[in-house]
Amino acid sequence: MSGWESYYKNQGDEEEEDQEEGLEAGGDYKYSGRDSLIFLIDASEAMFETQDEDELTPFDMSIQCIRSVYTSKIISSDRDLLAVVFYGTKKDKNSVNFKNIYVLQELDNPGAKRVLELDHFKGQEGKKHFQDLIGHGSDYSLSEVLWVCANLFSDVQFKMSHKRIMLFTNEDDPHGNDSAKASRARTKAGDLRDTGIFLDLLHLKKRGGFDISLFYRDIISIAEDEDIRVHFEESSKLEDLLRKVRAKETRKRVLHRLKLKLDKDVALTVGIYNMVQKALKPSPVRLYRETNEPVKTKTRTFNVNTGSLLLPSDTKRSQTYGSRQIVLEKEETEELKRFDEPGLILIGFKPLIMLKKHHYLRPSLFVYPDESLINGSSTLFSALLTKCLEKEVMAVCRYTPRQNIPPCFVALMPQEEELDDQKIQVTPPGFQLIFLPYADDKRKVPFTEKVMANPEQVDKMKAIVQKLHFKYRSDSFENPVLQQHFRNMEALALDLMEPEQAVDLTLPKVEVMDKRLGSLVDEFKELVYPPDYNPEEKVPKRKQGDENSGSKRPKVELSEEELKAHVSRGTLGKLTVPTLKEACRVYGLKSGTKKQELLDALTKRFQKA
């Protein structure tokens, strides 16, 4: 029989699951799908010209920027869909046979072959390769270009949470001499907005400057959470273009959309966002050694006595409690998994000072209003946030993220909007969803007696801390192991001679620290440690015969009567594993090393007695 534990997910698994379920009809929550992004590149001759020989051409900048996004997507979110489309070309390649539009890559997952294909278009050799393979054209219609992009989105079979087109060009008025084409392009851009497709302009440097008001002001889409000023800054350097692209392509993807119930009849919709998630190496894929094809694992259950194959209906699930085996039917185990409908239910309010640092269980989530299920949610959310900030209170709620996941208590800590000197948002307004521990999660740890330092030692350590003070930002430090792993994978996938070495920014700068501290460390050692202290000297091991060495085995201070009393009261499980092992040894009981096996052996022995 299987244990119940296999029926439950680990805490936090809901963030890592595939979230491609559709919106349930009439449901109170929904999940997102995959992000999709089309890079739309102007391939006219002007994109291959540069004002300075040392500068990159606008086309080369675009290709290098797209390649950077591809490699980062392979690492961070390889399930997203990317495509590359050229327009203003001599040759054409698209599903509707429009002229001067060349679809280089259709919407698909990023991969090594696609990155290598983009590398062929880099630099002077890339310029020649483009002219030989595709060539330049001039008579194109931007409405037809947008039509081709819309078809690429519609041909995808997956559910897509976000559809975006990034347009790279240095031509500010593509249809200045043809008002009919300009009108059709504006109409088609409006149609894309209505179907949820965002169009972003990544305009590049042009002689005389890029005037967005001539044409693109009516074409581009501006999301509610974007700053309109970003669209009016032209990019003259690759770093500027990369920064702008990364800011736009990083979608604020919602983890869940749930109802926050303030009362029986009052509710609003909120989006739950995952702000921090541990980055891990991708799990390896098992391949068949002869063909390199992925293999699938199938699990089957057999009867240990007869060897016959068992169907799911032939098995039950059990859990040993004490010395009894509790067995449940499949329907009962299914019922055990159902707790409540997904959502947030308000329990009450508490002062913010009651939230302690040691209550931390896992990274918090961010809560922001969402109008998709209940209109007016933003207004009610804003009123709730304002009052919580005024009164300095947090909202305590019961949080059920998904079906079949146990509920937990959370604190909604209000967060005020912060702007920098340029009036650009640094911190958004909303609630930080902080997970609170249950009583079962708290532990009592015996602490040793506190040893007080004298004032002179404290002052010296203060001086050391002051000298080593620096501004810490978590986003300034990358995981060196992960970075080196992905660079090794990139080198293998792209057939590079050797991988680029990642810089380990977590290593302390010893020389700089020594220079800052000067003689402070030696002075502190003299105050704290004895004169003959050597930190590198190994501590001699104590021999077993020493008086103070003590026995490795824990001493059992429980008599036979006490063990019988524990068994009769059912409190034997409160004893530690070393104590149970020693008791089994003393009474000559054979058992395994797990606690449950030790408990069973002792229970069986003293129940007979």
Contact 40, 149 (CB under 8 A): yes
Supply 590's token pair. 């054979």
Query: Residue 497's beta-bridge partner residues?
Result: none
Q: SS3 for 568?
A: helix
Instruction: From the candidates 30, 206, 261, 581, give the one annotated as an active-site residue.
Output: 30
Contact 102, 91 (CB under 8 A): yes
Question: Any alpha helices (H) in 424-518, and if so which ranges?
Answer: 455-467, 480-493, 510-517
Phi, psi of 181 (to 5 degrees): -65, -40
Report d(CA 215, CA 178) in Å as an integer.
12
Query: Residue 369's beta-bridge partner residues?
Result: 270
Decide: residue 60, CB within 10 A, 0-12 exposed, 13-18 middle, 19+ buried.
buried
Supply 420's token pair. 């920098």
Query: Residue 395's beta-bridge partner residues?
Result: 349, 412
Instruction: Choose among 335, 348, 377, 341: nearest CA to 436.
Output: 348
Instruction: Choose among 150, 161, 151: nearest CA to 193.
Output: 150
Instruction: Choose among 187, 194, 249, 195: nearest CA to 218.
Output: 187
Supply 594's token pair. 């797990």
Q: HSE-up of 508 (CA within 13 Å, CB side)?
A: 8
Report d(CA 392, CA 409) in Å as an integer.
19
Query: Residue 261's beta-bridge partner residues?
Result: 267, 345
Q: List C-alpha distances in Å: 321 to 201, 325, 484, 562, 599.
A: 64, 6, 47, 21, 11
Report d(CA 587, CA 589) in Å as an integer.
6
Q: SS3 for 564?
A: helix
Q: Is 30 one of the annotated active-site residues of the chain?
A: yes
Which residues are identified as catalytic?
30
